[in-house]
């Protein structure tokens, strides 16, 4: 009887540890931010609202709204990666298209 109790306790311990290990791995995954969810200029995570919203430049590269605001010059943004200009004539930085794909991944 005592041996059965020990075996039962060991199995319960293993089961509990396995569950805790799984939970720990899930928590770790939540903490790790995937690279495409970060602005490559400021390294901040993209957000749904405000200056952290990901915006598409005409070249296809994505920056957060805050960084776009910082690098705009004379109604254009020159992409810091490929140097292609995004003209802002008749629109503002806030009117650049949102990159919904970066938010949903």
Residue 13 included in any domain? no
Is residue 42 a part of any domain in this protein?
Answer: yes
Give Cα 16 distance to the centre of its chain. 32
pTM recorded for the entire structure? 0.68
Tokens encoding 6: 């020990």
Give the pLDDT score at 3: 60
User: Has residue 16 been placed in a domain?
Assistant: no
Q: What's residue 1's pLDDT?
A: 59
Those residues whose C-beta lies under 8 Å from the C-beta of residue 88, and which sit 6 or more positions away, are: 72, 75, 76, 77, 95
Asked whether residue 23 is assigned to any structural domain, the reply reads no
Structural domain contains residue 30: no
Both tokens assigned to 2? 């005592």
Question: Tens digit of pLDDT for each residue in 62-94?
Answer: 999 999 999 999 999 999 999 999 999 999 999
Point out the least confidently predicted range of 10-14, 34-38, 76-80, 100-104. Answer: 10-14
């Amino acid at each position: 009887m005592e041996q059965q109790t020990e075996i039962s306790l060991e199995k319960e311990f293993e089961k509990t540890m396995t569950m805790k290990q799984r939970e720990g791995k899930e928590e770790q995954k939540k903490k790790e931010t995937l690279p495409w969810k970060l602005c490559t200029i400021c390294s901040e995570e993209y957000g749904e609202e405000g200056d952290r919203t990901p915006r598409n430049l005409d070249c296809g590269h994505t920056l957060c709204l805050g960084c776009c605001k910082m690098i705009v010059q004379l109604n254009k943004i020159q992409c810091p990666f490929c140097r292609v200009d995004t003209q802002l004539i008749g629109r503002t930085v806030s009117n650049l298209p949102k990159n919904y794909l970066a938010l949903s991944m």
